[in-house]
Structure 1
Amino acid sequence: MSVNIDSRVVAPGSDDFVEDAWDLKEQINRQEGVLKQRRDFFTDAYRRSTVYCYVQDSDFVGFAAVRRDGYILFLAVDPDYRGNGIGKRLVARVADDHDTITCHARTSNENALQFYEHLGFEIKRRIDNYYEDSGDAYYLKLGSDVGITDRLSDLIRR
């Protein structure tokens, strides 16, 4: 599969690609049981974030919605495009603009935890009942203390 994709940045306050992002999030939710946010919560958070998107032709293949402080609210890659470095490229794009990156991941989301661990994120703490459905989360951090830019640049070159 070709990985020649276009990068787009959606500024806070815009809802460009919000429907595509919602549809991708819901597809992943149905298949994997993660990304369980309600629509109003999701769209509000999306509009308040800077959103890095990847699009190939007419396919919306992934996005990262990020707060001003480098906290990743949502990160999703279409399952058909996984394994092509898109998730790494999204995180690297976030790292271009932030000294540290943080996020939460469900303790049961092995795919996400392995992905973040591979990039060098560290689990800082566990939070019981973090999600609306009482699911537990890990708070993860990748920062300048672990050489964020060099680490991600090295990963992308592989």
Structure 2
Amino acid sequence: MIQVATIKDIKPLFSIEQEVFKQEVFALSLNSFRYHLKRNTIFKLEIDKKIVGYCLWLKRKEYYRLYSFAILQEFQGRGFASQLLEFSINNLNKSKFELEVRVSNKNAIKLYEKFGFKIVKTLENYYENEDGYKMVRV
């Protein structure tokens, strides 16, 4: 089941963040989740009443920006990321979407391309020790 997350989902969302992005300096804090739950849109993916993934979209004037996207490791490779991305795109009220992704994250790039995102720019040193791509879907 996919739906908009609420403040009561903060601990499971933060737990996913800690597991998926444990080595990352940009990983969201508990306070960051609190902020985003109030001001932006987080879609959660639940399986058997357990939150196993989420995507966080920042609303801009002309588009939405995918800020964070995570699926627990044991649920990866089963099409859940596609379901979550498709649901979120279909339930946001804009037609333009943007995101940044590590150049080495081939699986994510393939997923985004499957949904019509195109690489428009290489972002030098966007991540610690790595370039990123800016991808856009119009």
Q: TM-score, normalised by structure 1?
A: 0.70
Are the structure 2 counterparts of residues 81 and 40 from structure 1 closer, same or farther at C-alpha, using a change threshold of 3 Å? closer
Moved over 6 A (4+): none
Match status 1:39 vs 2:61: no
Shift, 1:88, TM fit: 1.4
- State the alpha-carbon separation in 1 of the partners of residues 31 and 123 from structure 2: 20
Structure 1 residues 65-76: aligned runs within 5 Å = 65-68=56-59, 69-76=63-70
Question: In the superposition, relative to structure 1, how do residues 34 and 113 fare at CA in structure 2: closer, same or farther (>3 Å)?
Answer: farther
Q: Which of residues 81, 92, 116 is equivalent to 1:87?
A: 81
Q: Which moved more, 1:39-48 or 1:108-117?
A: 39-48
In structure 2, list runs of 5 or more residues that go unmatched: none
Percentage of identical aligned residues: 19
Give the unaligned 5+ runs of structure 1. 1-5, 144-158
What is aligned with 1:18? 10
Give the strand-richer structure, 1 or 2: 2
The alignment yields a C-alpha RMSD, in angstroms, of: 2.4
TM-score relative to the length of structure 2: 0.79
Aligned to 1:63: 54
Equivalenced residues, count? 132
